[in-house]
Structure 1
Amino acid sequence: MPSADHELPIALLNDQPALAPELLQAVSGIKPPEYEHIGLGSDTFTDTGPTEYRADTVVILGEPKRPDLAIVVENQLRPDPRKRFVWPVYLSTLRARRECPVTLLVLCPDRATSAWCRAPIETGHEGWALRPWVLNLAEAPAVTDVEKARALPELAILSTPANADGPHRKAVLTAFAEALEVTDRDRGGKYHDYVRSKLSVAARHCLEEIMQAEVYEWQSDFALRYIAEGEAKGEARGEIKGEAKAILRCLEVRGVAVDEESRQRIINCTDSEQIDAWLTRAVVAHTLDEVFD
């Protein structure tokens, strides 16, 4: 079964085809032709074998019957020698079918796979080699502009995991939250779960702070649910802190000395069951060992 790491980037492109020329320009420096129409093309290339060749997705720029450019997009998680024979088939078949220029954009999760995908594919005909355009998603350009995030939310979502621990963390995560604000409920929840699974603990905490900040008036179902969950977590943390203080007060009244290391152990504990157990023991304990053991 395809993994979320493979399916989510392709889902972003299927939901927003304009993401493809944006990414293509980012990695190639080539500005795509101006277009009034953009949409998805068939991702299936079948010969008379019949062997079915299926790309991850195809984006068509321009009039469907007379397109200006067709972009084959592949999300390649690891090297696969077979693709060096299949990718030229995608381009030649699509070029013959659409009678327009075609190009290949490959998304990769890491530097090693990106290097493998960038290697020219020699077809055997002199001077005819396919050189894929490759974007390492771990190095995707950061989206920090809120207006851009709202205009092309899929770009902000795709780039967030790579930049959430960078120097512009707060701006990146704010743009991510704004992107979700203009995304419908089903896709927003799916995109949020995918990105959050890739965030570090520090980045998750930063996102929580952004969502809880009163300077933003979030409106989406996703944001309101997130805020409610954050408030519930905050209340739970507050209860734990209160019990930790009760443990220390109880030990003080009973004349049990508490060293600084033990004090920090109690204050910093986030396990409610553990705190409850310590509090029960502290009521009758004569030593710290009786509390912790």
Structure 2
Amino acid sequence: MLDALDHIELEQAQGYIDEVLAMLPTAARQILEAMMSTGTREYKSRYARHYYGQGKAEGKAEGIAEGEVRGEAKMLLLILTARGIEVPQDARELILACTDLERIEAWGRRAGTVASIDELLG
């Protein structure tokens, strides 16, 4: 889709993106929006580089470790929420405070199959 958006006017491309986002299931839209808001994403199309600013993509190297962990933690919480798994405030704070990327990734791998937050963190 992004490649196709490279060949049309910016305003028209934004309209198409709005339509696609409106058609996505809520969980998929939340995951996509979380990915886009982490600030650690590399933009792949000319449209996205233009719309979001090349400087943002180029500047991602600064603080990438912190941003990557924070983005992964947010994504983990979105996945759990989308699956209907209750995440109490203390668990939410634990996940968001985690600075160990390997641990966050391990939790992320299990997030799709666990039945509870205790199972995920235990």
Q: TM-score, normalised by structure 2?
A: 0.48
Q: Which one has a larger percent helix, Structure 1 or Structure 2?
A: 2
Whose RCO is larger (CA < 8 A, sep 6+)?
Answer: 2
The structure with the largest alpha-carbon Rg is: 1
Q: TM-score, normalised by structure 1?
A: 0.21
